[in-house]
Amino acid sequence: MDEDTTIEELVNQTLDATLSAVPVYLTDIEMDKDKLCVENVKEFVFGVIMGMTFGLASAAIASLKDEMPSEEDQTKIRDIIYTKIPQIREKIYR
């Protein structure tokens, strides 16, 4: 398997894991939105999912390569995540 395919698979696995937590995040953040000073819970959760997916995918790649992801790796991760934005929004806004 080539490196690009491995990165894409890691990003997809990470995204699946973070998306599975969306219902919990929506509930928890709705309950604590005043403490968190959140006006739009769904947009906040969108940001959490995007950040977690990027961070966890980067950590997985760092572990796999035994070094921090290069700038090129980070760009690949970001680009893959960006192609998944409609799927992420569907899960949060449905």
User: For the segment 11-58, what is each residue's pLDDT rounded down to a tens digit?
Assistant: 899 999 999 999 999 999 999 999 999 999 999 999 999 999 999 999
Residue 48 has a pLDDT of 94
- Nearest CA to 76 out of 2, 14, 7 is that of 7
pTM of the model: 0.87
pLDDT band at 94 (very low <50, low <70, confident <90, very high): confident
pLDDT band at 90 (very low <50, low <70, confident <90, very high): very high
pLDDT band at 4 (very low <50, low <70, confident <90, very high): confident
Mapping DSSP onto H, E and C, the string for the chain reads CCHHHHHHHHHHHHHHHHHCCHHHHHHHHHHCHHHHCCCCHHHHHHHHHHHHHHHHHHHHHHHHHCCCCCHHHHHHHHHHHHHCHHHHHHHHHC
Q: For residue 77, how many C-alpha atoms fall within 13 Å in the half-sphere facing its CB?
A: 25
